[in-house]
């Protein structure tokens, strides 16, 4: 007969071990998560920049050499917000003073301050336009181009003559920005320079002139707009792949700009080109822009 052996009771952890198990399997991982979250939030706090426009302005005027131009960049970005511009009545006088002080030193500071001046909106504060027109003669090409853009953004008619005089510049980039700015200024609607620029040696200057004329409701640029709706021609002028589509499609950007101008004019001679683009362009965004242009035509 088999000998019955009394089974030994299974050992169970004492109740005092339960907290230890909880620490091992729950609290420790929770602590790791908490520490990780704390480190993440700490880095976010370090990287977060909650400085105001006044803070950036103070840094431009008294900060170190390597901190002034980033502060000028951030200030130019903030000035695009009307609520920022209206939040502090000392902001514009301080900006003008900082601009005057930037005549010497890192040219990047003045480049970004010019952009900030161009974002002051309407009514244009006193003293802004004279400073920007003086900057048109800057030896630094980037400051000059930014000043042209700023005057166009402000839409002030007082600068039309100074801008037209710059069209004789040898730099195509300057000429392109000039015709863009003239297209943005209502008082430049009758500018002869815009029509002259349709025959510019640089294709993109011609394109900007045609679009600027369309913004003023003028049709002299219709033949150029027609060429802007020809992807093969545009791609050849830009030296890019004619079949390029999607993002990174500079030819497509030109086509969409031409489509917007065509929609503004609703010129009947451009409609066949718009229809062709809407049906066959490889870039879906361009085709969508063409469909929207056709809606503006009324069909």
Looking at residue 298, its pLDDT comes to: 87
Q: What pLDDT, on a 0 to 100 scale, did the predictor assign at position 248?
A: 81
Q: Which of 41-45, 246-250, 280-284 has the lowest mean pLDDT?
A: 41-45
Range 112-127 average pLDDT: 93
The contacts of residue 12 (CB under 8 Å, 6+ apart) are none
Let me know if 242 is exposed, middle or buried by CB neighbors in 10 A (0-12, 13-18, 19+). Answer: middle
pLDDT tens profile 76-103: 999 989 898 888 889 999 999 999 999 8
The residue among 271 and 32 whose pLDDT is bigger is 271
Q: What is the pLDDT of residue 27?
A: 46
Q: What is the pLDDT of residue 119?
A: 94
45-73, pLDDT tens digit by residue?
344 458 899 999 999 988 888 899 999 99
> Which of 24-28, 87-91, 109-113 bottoms out in mean pLDDT, i.e. has the lowest?
24-28
Question: Could you give the CA distance from residue 130 to residue 244 in angstroms, rounded to a whole number?
Answer: 44
pLDDT of 251 reads 95
pLDDT for 230 equals: 97
| 3-state percent breakdown (helix, strand, coil) of the chain, nearest 5 | 70, 0, 30
Does residue 246 register a pLDDT over 60?
no
What is each CA distance from 227 to 22, 240, 270, in whole angstroms? 74, 16, 10
- pLDDT at residue 247 greater than cutoff 90: no
Closest CA to 209 of 257, 272, 144: 257
pLDDT given at position 36: 55
Predicted local distance difference test score (pLDDT) of residue 265: 97
Contacting residues for 247 by C-beta, under 8 A, at least 6 apart: none
pLDDT per residue over 175-194, tens digit each?
999 999 999 999 999 999 99
Cα 59 to the center of its chain, rounded Å: 24
35: confidence class by pLDDT, cuts 50, 70, 90: low
What's the mean pLDDT when you consider all of the chain?
A: 85
The predicted model gives 227-248 an average pLDDT of 79
Which pTM does this prediction carry? Answer: 0.78
pLDDT (mean) for 254-268: 97
Looking at residue 51, what is its pLDDT?
A: 86
């Amino acid at each position: 007969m088999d000998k019955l052996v009394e089974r030994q009771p299974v050992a169970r952890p004492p109740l005092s071990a339960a907290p230890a198990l909880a620490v091992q399997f729950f609290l420790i991982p929770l602590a790791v998560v908490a520490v990780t979250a704390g480190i993440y939030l700490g880095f976010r706090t370090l990287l977060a920049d909650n400085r105001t426009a006044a803070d950036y302005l103070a840094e431009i005027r008294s900060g170190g050499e390597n901190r002034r131009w980033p502060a000028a960049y951030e200030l130019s970005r903030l000035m695009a917000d009307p609520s920022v511009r209206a939040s502090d009545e000392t902001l514009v006088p301080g900006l003008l003073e900082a601009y005057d002080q930037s005549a010497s030193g890192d040219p990047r500071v003045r480049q970004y301050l010019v952009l900030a001046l161009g974002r002051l909106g309407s009514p244009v504060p006193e003293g802004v336009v004279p400073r920007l027109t003086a900057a048109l003669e800057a030896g630094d090409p980037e400051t000059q181009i930014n000043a042209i853009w700023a005057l166009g953004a402000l839409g002030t008619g007082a600068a039309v003559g100074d801008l037209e005089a710059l069209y004789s510049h040898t730099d195509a980039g300057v000429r392109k920005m000039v015709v863009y700015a003239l297209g943005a200024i209502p008082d430049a609607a009758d500018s002869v320079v815009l029509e002259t620029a349709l025959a510019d040696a640089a294709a993109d200057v011609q394109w900007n002139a045609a679009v600027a004329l369309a913004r003023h409701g003028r049709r002299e640029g219709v033949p150029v707009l027609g060429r802007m709706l020809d992807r093969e021609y545009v791609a050849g002028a830009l030296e890019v792949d004619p079949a390029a589509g999607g993002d990174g499609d500079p030819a497509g950007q030109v086509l969409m700009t031409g489509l917007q101008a065509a929609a503004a004019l609703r010129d009947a001679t451009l409609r066949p080109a718009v229809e062709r683009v809407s049906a066959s362009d490889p870039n879906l965004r361009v085709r969508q822009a063409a469909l929207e242009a056709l809606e503006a035509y009324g069909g």
